[in-house]
Amino acid sequence: MTHWIRFALADGSEGFGTLEGERIAEYHGDMFGTPQASGRTYALAELRLLSPCSPSKVIALWNNYHQLAARLEKAPPAHPLFMILPSTSVTGTGEAIRRPPGYAGKIVFEGELGVVIGRTCRNVSELEAGAYIFGYTCINDVTAIEILTEDPNFPQWGRSKSFDTFTCVGPAIASQIDLATASVLTTLDGVERQNYPLSDMIFTPAQIVSRLSADLTLCPGDVIACGTSVGVGSMKNGARISIAISGIGELTNHLQA
């Protein structure tokens, strides 16, 4: 299994490579094409991790876990329900989630599995979908929850989740994980808040990629946030929030006032 990451060096230059224990093996070229090892390695301490890809869009699912659907007393949807989040909302591990200027309300974490697309994908079957999945990452799909219901006529799913830094992605893209056994573990200031199995998904990654690709073209590096399950809650200013998924790693951010 490979863990792909992107990084910035002290001089501001950016690169990408694979995690090899405590070191990074640098690659050149296109992560989603045929990247070539440069032969150069870095210690993790020498660099700052970036979001492991720069998606042209993030597609964020709602109501995709049986346990949460049951808790909310919502029927499982007939098709993946989603909103589009912009590339500008994406940030990497270690970065601040910035409270929107002028917004003093609750900010909610949602630990999620992220699916990263590897090849341009349109109208593929569920059987074909796996070949278009580059790998898996951790997502914190942050929401300024009081904005969602601020207007009585229009639920603001887009705005409440589109603020800069509200889509935390990382730390790495794992080329494979065990979807049958892995769990999403969310920890807020050291206290476990979510711990749910990926096996409880209503639509699996292959089903999601197939269904979404019938609607809209998926591009290399695009990220699908597979929805969250029970245990979401709000974060205080300064809180430290981590999303860990077995086989991927741990995505950690903090809420900056």
Question: Which residues make up the interface to its own copies (CB under 8 A)?
Answer: 56-57, 62-63, 74-75, 77-79, 81-89, 100-102, 122-123, 150-159, 162-164, 214-219
User: Of 68 and 185, which has the nearer Cβ to its own copies?
Assistant: 68
The least CB distance from residue 11 to its own copies, in Å, is: 22
Both structure tokens of 33: 């094409």
The least CB distance from residue 22 to its own copies, in Å, is: 34
2-to-19, 91, 108, 173, 240 alpha-carbon distances in Å:
7, 21, 31, 8, 27
Sign, Cα dihedral of 253, 233, 157, 153: negative
Is residue 247 within 8 Å of 178, Cβ to Cβ?
A: yes
For residue 171, cis peptide bond before it (omega within 30 degrees of 0):
yes
Q: How far apart are CA 88 and CA 110, in angstroms?
A: 18
The least CB distance from residue 219 to its own copies, in Å, is: 7
User: Of 151 and 189, which has the nearer Cβ to its own copies?
Assistant: 151
Q: Which residue carries 């341009």 as its tokens? A: 120
The least CB distance from residue 80 to its own copies, in Å, is: 8
Q: How far apart are CA 51 and CA 54, in angstroms?
A: 7
User: Of 123 and 256, which has the nearer Cβ to its own copies?
Assistant: 123
DSSP states along 142-191 = -EEHHHHTSSTTS--HHHHH-STT-EEEEEEEES---TTT-EEEEEETTE
The least CB distance from residue 59 to its own copies, in Å, is: 8
The least CB distance from residue 146 to its own copies, in Å, is: 12
User: Of 86 and 105, which has the nearer Cβ to its own copies?
Assistant: 86
User: Of 223 and 235, which has the nearer Cβ to its own copies?
Assistant: 223
Any idea how long the chain is? 257
Both structure tokens of 176: 């494979």
For residue 212, give the nearest of 114, 81, 88 by alpha carbon: 81
User: Of 17 and 220, which has the nearer Cβ to its own copies?
Assistant: 220
